[in-house]
């Protein structure tokens, strides 16, 4: 999570630790790693909803929406592709 500032990460940790619900709007895929559930929207319409695994899987719609995978997820997918890890990491 080196893309996130310490204060930003601490805020999300506090929210999760205290079971607080929050709606966070972002275009930064790195920030989506902190979410439990994700809703991707385009032109005010929900395109896809789900947890991190379903959003960041190999058939992700992120590239079609002009978004990339978070660095850690993309790296994990590539390492799995070359047989260097046995599963993809989304957390």
DSSP symbols for 36-54:
SEEEEEETTEEEEEEEHHH
Q: What is the pLDDT of residue 58?
A: 62
User: What are 4-25's pLDDT values in tens digits?
Assistant: 577 777 888 888 899 998 888 8
Q: Give the pTM.
A: 0.68
Low-confidence ranges of the chain (pLDDT < 50): 1-2
Residue from 19, 59, 14, 61 nearest 40 by CA: 61
Q: How far is CA 29 from CA 18, 33, 60, 82, in A?
A: 24, 7, 12, 23
């Amino acid at each position: 999570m080196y893309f996130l500032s310490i204060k930003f990460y601490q805020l999300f940790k506090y929210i999760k630790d205290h079971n607080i619900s929050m709606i966070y709007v972002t275009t930064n895929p790195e920030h989506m790693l902190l979410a439990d559930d994700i809703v991707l929207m385009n032109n005010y319409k929900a395109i896809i909803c789900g947890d991190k695994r379903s959003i960041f899987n190999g058939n992700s719609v992120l590239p079609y929406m002009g978004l990339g995978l978070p660095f850690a997820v993309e790296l994990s997918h590539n390492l799995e592709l070359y047989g260097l890890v046995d599963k993809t990491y989304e957390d």
